[in-house]
Every structure is written in C-alpha cells, then in structure tokens.
Chain A
Amino acid sequence: MNQWAFVLAAFGVMAGGTGGLLAWSWPAMRSAEAKAEALGKRR
C-alpha cells in the first residue's frame, strides 16, 4: 500500500475544499457589492 497516495489525496481534498469555498465566496461577494454600488449610483 503506497502511503503517499493517501497523504496526497488527503492534502488534495483539504486544498480543494478550502479553495472551492474561496472560489464560491469571493466572486459572490464581488458581484453582490458591485450590484449594490451600481444601484446606489442610479439613485
């Protein structure tokens, strides 16, 4: 049993999970704040 395969899988899952959260939250925040700002300028 190659132990490194398990180590790399675990690190990959952790990096992927955290990166996925960031990739989901950052654009959502930018887009929501841009919409709020655009609407504020329209008034």
Chain B
Amino acid sequence: MHRFANPARFLKIARPATGWLLALGLVLSLTGMAGALFLIPPDYLQGETARILHIHVPAAWLGMGGWTGIAVSSIATIVWRHPLAGVAARAIAPVGATFAFLCLVTGSIWGRPTWGTWWEWDGRLTSMLVLLFLYLGYMALAAAEKERGPDGRAAAIFGIVGIVNLPIIHFSVQWWRTLHQGESIGVAGSSIAPSMLWPLPLTTLGFSALFGAIVLMRMRTELAETKVEMRLRRMATAA
C-alpha cells in the first residue's frame, strides 16, 4: 500500500484510470437506465414505479460504500500515516454524501405512489438520513482540520466511529419491522424475477465506476492544489 504513498506514482495510475472509469461508468449506467426505463416489464403490484429500484439501490449502495471507504482511509491515516489516505477520505465524502442524498430523494419519490407518503420515520429511512448528516459533519470537520494542518486525526477518528451506522442501516429492516420492506436481494439469491432484475447489475456497476472516477478527479484536484501551494510557498521563501 505504501508503494502508492508517492503522489507521482499514484498519479501515474490515477490519470488513465479516471478516463477508463468515466467511460465505463457512462456506458454501463446509461445502458442500465435505458433498460430499466424501456425494456423491463412493469411490476404486477407496484406497476411502473418498480423501475425506480434500479437507481435507488445503487445510490444506497454507494452512500454506504462511500462511508466504508472513508473508514478504511481513516484507519490507514491513523495506523500507517499514509499520506494519500486523508486525501482519499476527503475526496470520497462529498461524493458519498451526494449518493446518500440521491438515495433518500429517489426513495421518497418511490414512496409517494407506493406507500402514500413522501417520508416516514422508519428505521431504514431514519438511519440513512443519519448517514447523510454524518457525511456533512465529516466534511465540515475535515475542512476545518485541513486549514489547521495536515494531521487529520480528528476527522479520521470520526470516520472510524461513524461506521457504526452502517450495520444499523443494513439490519434496520430486520430489527424494526415498520414500512421499508426487507431485503429483496441477498447472498442466497433474489426474490425479483430475472426479467425485471437484469438492469440492476448494470446500473450498480456503472454508478460505482462513476463514483470511482469522480473520487479520482477530486483526489487529483487536491494533489494539484497542494503542489501549487507548496511551490508558491517555496518561491516566496526563495524571493
């Protein structure tokens, strides 16, 4: 892992990877969304609104996956003092927050015609909203801490502690049987008919690739900004 501690070595891989992930993400997510909109049949009970599942699930997965990335980067910051781990965590946070927000909004839009309400203080919905607030808190803390210096310890601790919310989100549908339905897709298989399910892997992989591309873009931005700042400081000292 420390092989990539050198930003130049990291950028050598990140530069081509950004373009590839972006292209792959656009092709897969657009194909998956077109399939979900025009090619799969409507659900016998939910009707057309079941199509929203194909974007709501990837948004939920990436909202939760983003925080997992922050927690892993935070561990690398604290344990190994990896110089790029803080950059990665700060790059992930706004992207993960956006997908957590998109999960809540698409779920709400699905909920209105299906449940008859835009919002319910249900276990799954509430814990997902808590995740969005955790992202906002992390972003504020990481930004404040970055201004003070490159340490990033407090944000890293927050990133690790915040992961406690992920099992709560996952098991909320089993612990509190309220409005949100249980799992339709698990390790053992899926209760959704294959004729309706096939766009889901495409949208999930596609949006995951876009997530990766955006995170790499934001990491490259921060590294370039740091480089400019250091050079300007060096030039000012030399003058």
Contacts and interface: CB of A to CB of B under 8 A. Distances in A.
Interface residues of B, number: 42
Interface string A11-22: 101110110111
B221 A7 contact: no
A36 B222 CA distance: 11
B107 to A, nearest CB: 9
Interface string B60-103: 00000000000000000000000000000000001100110110
Question: DSSP class of A's interface residues: helix, strand, loop or mixed?
Answer: helix
Contacts of A26: 217
Nearest to B222: A32
Contact of B48 (A4, A20, A22, A32): A4
B110 interface: yes
Contacts of A29: 18, 217-218, 220-221, 224
B217 A25 contact: yes
Contact of B106 (A14, A22, A40): A14
**Contact-residue bracket for chain A:** 20 to 34
B105 A13 contact: yes
A6 B101 CA distance: 17
A11 B37 contact: yes
Interface of B: 18, 22, 29, 33, 36-37, 47-49, 51-52, 55-56, 59, 94-95, 98-99, 101-102, 105-106, 109-110, 112-113, 207, 210, 213-214, 217-218, 220-222, 224-225, 227-228, 231-232, 235
Interface of A: 1, 3-4, 6-7, 9-11, 13-15, 17-18, 20-22, 25-26, 28-29, 32-33, 35-36, 39-40, 43
